[in-house]
Amino acid sequence: MARALWSGAIAFGLVNIPVKLYGATESKDLSFTTLHASCMTALRRPYVCPKDNVPVDSKEMVKGYEYAKGQYVILTDKDFDAVPLEASKALEVQGFVESADISSILRERNYYLGPEEISLKPFELFRQALMRTGKVAIARAVLWKKEQLVSISPLNGGLVLTTLMYQDELKAPPEPPATQPVVISEAEIDLALQLIKTLTMEFDLSRFHDRYRDALMQLIQAKVEGKE
């Protein structure tokens, strides 16, 4: 049984649907430990002050926001606690939009939403309503002490919650080189369209693997077997 990361409720109007949040993905990147070559002991990297060139104990650390080059304002735990943040356990639906209206560049992380035992019917009703209308719910939620903008959409018989970026978190696209306007001929367009048509396929995610990670795991396994 998967462990829930968060529990709360989908709330809109007078509707309240108790739900739990589950991880939808996990990184398979390989992690390595830096060892002392002579004794194979894992090394710990302390925080070091580059000015004094000495290790700094956690009791001597503070959090600072750089508001100008080399200029910091210090924030304490009391400062963070004083910031007003409504500790709601609800996914507060603000409205419903077309899925196509949410640019892929806004999407951050995905999670599964699952119903509580008491909310099986309203959960399924909500899912089917989204399916029939083709809409996606936009909601506000406080997750891990941070207010998140999220979307809720139907997928594979369930619901997926996707955290979204805010408008001020988006960067402008790069400016094209200041050269003469690019002119594309119809023949070039036709050739590109033909190439796309030739390579059009059904998207089967199982066909794709991290080949570098697979090769690295083979190398690691060979070293382990050679050691035993």
CATH code of the domain containing 121: 2.40.290.10
Of 75-84, 148-157, 171-180, give the range with the top mean pLDDT. Answer: 148-157
pLDDT at 67 over 80: yes
Using DSSP's 3-state secondary structure scheme, residue 22 falls into strand
Long-range contacts of 198-203 (CB under 8 A, 24+ apart): none
| Domain coverage including residue 156 | 6-25+84-169
pLDDT at residue 173, rounded to an integer: 84
Q: How many CB atoms lie within 10 A of CB 60?
A: 10
Buried b (16+ CB within 10 A) or exposed e, 192-216: eeeeeeeeeeeeeeeeeeeeeeeee
pLDDT band, very low/low/confident/very high, at 137 (cuts 50, 70, 90): very high
Is residue 157 in a domain? yes
Residue with more model confidence, 126 or 178: 126
Tally the domains of the chain. Answer: 1
Is residue 10 in a domain? yes
Based on DSSP, count helices (H) and strands (E) in the chain, helices before strands. Answer: 4, 13
pLDDT at 9 over 70: yes
Is residue 155 in a domain? yes
Is residue 16 in a domain? yes
Is residue 159 in a domain? yes
Q: What percent of the chain has pLDDT above 70?
A: 96
pLDDT at residue 87, rounded to an integer: 61
pLDDT at residue 134, rounded to an integer: 92
Is residue 208 in a domain? no
Query: Can you give the length of the chain in residues?
Result: 228
Report the range of poorest mean pLDDT among 106-120, 151-165, 206-220: 206-220
Is residue 137 in a domain? yes
The verdict on pTM exceeding 0.85 is: no
pLDDT at 228 over 60: no
Tokens of 43: 């090394």
Is residue 210 in a domain? no
Mean pLDDT, residues 28-33: 79
